Amino acid sequence: MMRKTSVILLSAATGAALTLFVTQPRAVFMGSSARAATADTYRQLNLFGDVFERVRSDYVEKPDDTKLIESAISGMLTGLDPHSSYMDAKSFRDMQVQTRGEFGGLGIEVTMEDGLIKVVSPIDDTPASRAGIMANDIITNLDDEAVQGLTLNQAVEKMRGPVNTKIRLKIIRKGQDNPLDITLVRDNIRVRSVRARVEQDDIAYIRITTFNEQTTEGLKREVANLSNQIGDKLKGYIIDLRNNPGGLLEEAVTVSDSFLERGEIVSTRGRNAEETQRRSAHAGDLTKGKPVIVLVNGGSASASEIVAGALQDHKRATIVGTRSFGKGSVQTIIPLGSGNGALRLTTARYYTPSGKSIQAKGIVPDIEVLQDVPDELKARTDTKGEASLRGHLKNDGDEKTGSQSYVPPDAKDDKALKLGADLLHGIKNSASAAPTPGDNKAAADKPKAAN
């Protein structure tokens, strides 16, 4: 079997971690059944060639050959499962930017409003914040080109670019009579995948929004900052993975490892038994054994579920919230050569330390907490989950669909967050309670089930 340079990802959307396989080609000897199968495959390829030529010659308008081939490849992959797909060159570049978590740009979070670009907020210590760009500023022009008529993605792409290059923005600001012309020099921008704050004076709250190449370092930085801020009165950590769609497999492993002293974190099992891989924790708990609460909901998928599953199986954390999305598969990004994009191909299922597949089932929280949802939002706050996706990989047993994914915008209304804080303060609101530091060692020493 010829192996190839490939990229491993684990996400409900996109993500990647580089893995290199180099092996020598080997001679293949086929029996009669294999020869028959090969002959049938060639007949099907001939059929594809016949259809392709007929479309090229007889379609009502002259088709674009490249688009025809890309559409055929895309159809072949999307017919496999919901997460296999073809990425053209631009989509492949965008995916790489997203998973790196850094790019040449201005440092502005933006949205589209009435055909113009509205600033949501500037990111601290970036060209945008240093130039005084403010939330609610309206960007009307990028250099000499009007924003009107561009999509949000097109505008964002124009604002990104090589570090140390300039771009001129025309901005309308409420209270200013005339538009502002601001010239910015692009810098290296790091996406903040980890945000944190002190909760109730003695709890470290850490929100992880995605698993990109910056996530583990961001987690380490915030744990150190919060530990210093809170000091000896620190009761424990709340790790918020709600509505986190996933990302890099490697980052899910290292984030899990940050809370564990030993034991398996996750195993990935492909089509062939020899492809099974097991990832284990290394000594050194970043939180020094402090209790941990993990918040999940219907929007917590893939890499998020690896972290929640590992900490739950090792009894290192209490999982609070609603059942997670249920994406238990691993995708490999396979580049197709310069300018040809890449394949995103499902190559394995992953299993939690206890040998459990969460595919189409999700992580069931130790304590379920349903939020109070405003009436006008009730129809839009449930995530159907992996089991509802057409063509999803099947799992043995009862598959699960539908789980609440609403997170109140105001922390005082967040019932899951409040319960997590109560548990860390020793207020027993359920038969399940926050783990003690000793639970981690006891769970790590237990034998693990294997499938």
Angle of CA points 6, 311, 432, to nearest 5°: 150
Q: Among residues 302, 304, 324, 357, which one is catalytic?
A: 302
Q: Among residues 313, 315, 357, 405, which one is catalytic?
A: 313
Checking 193-199 for CB contacts under 8 A at 24+ apart, the result is 193/101, 193/218, 193/247, 194/218, 194/219, 194/221, 194/222, 195/222, 196/222, 196/225, 196/226, 198/226, 198/229, 198/230, 199/238, 199/411, 199/417, 199/421
Q: Pairing between strand 108-113 and 116-122?
A: antiparallel
170 tagged catalytic: no
In the block, residue with structure tokens 């009007």: 146
Kindly provide the residue ranges of all beta strands, DSSP E only, lying in 341-443, ordered along the sequence: 342-351, 367-368, 382-383, 403-404
Structure-token pair, residue 109: 């979070």
Return d(Cα 244, Cα 121) in angstroms, integer: 21
371: closest CA among 308, 296, 425, 429?
A: 296
327 tagged catalytic: yes
Spatial contact of 344 and 9, defined as CB atoms under 8 Å apart: yes
Spatial contact of 76 and 98, defined as CB atoms under 8 Å apart: no
Q: With b meaning 16 or more CB within 10 Å and e meaning fewer, what string describes 84-104?
A: bbbbbeeebebbbbbbebebb
Q: Among residues 290, 327, 361, 400, which one is catalytic?
A: 327
4 tagged catalytic: no
**Whole-number Cα distances in Å, 325 to 248, 297, 361:** 17, 7, 8
Return d(Cα 359, Cα 382) in angstroms, integer: 18
**Cβ neighbours of 231 (radius 10 Å):** 9
Burial of 28 (0-12, 13-18, 19+ CB in 10 A): exposed
Kindly provide the residue ranges of all beta strands, DSSP E only, lying in 173-305, ordered along the sequence: 180-185, 187-190, 194-199, 203-208, 236-240, 246-247, 264-269, 277-280, 292-296
Which residues are known catalytic residues? 302, 313, 327
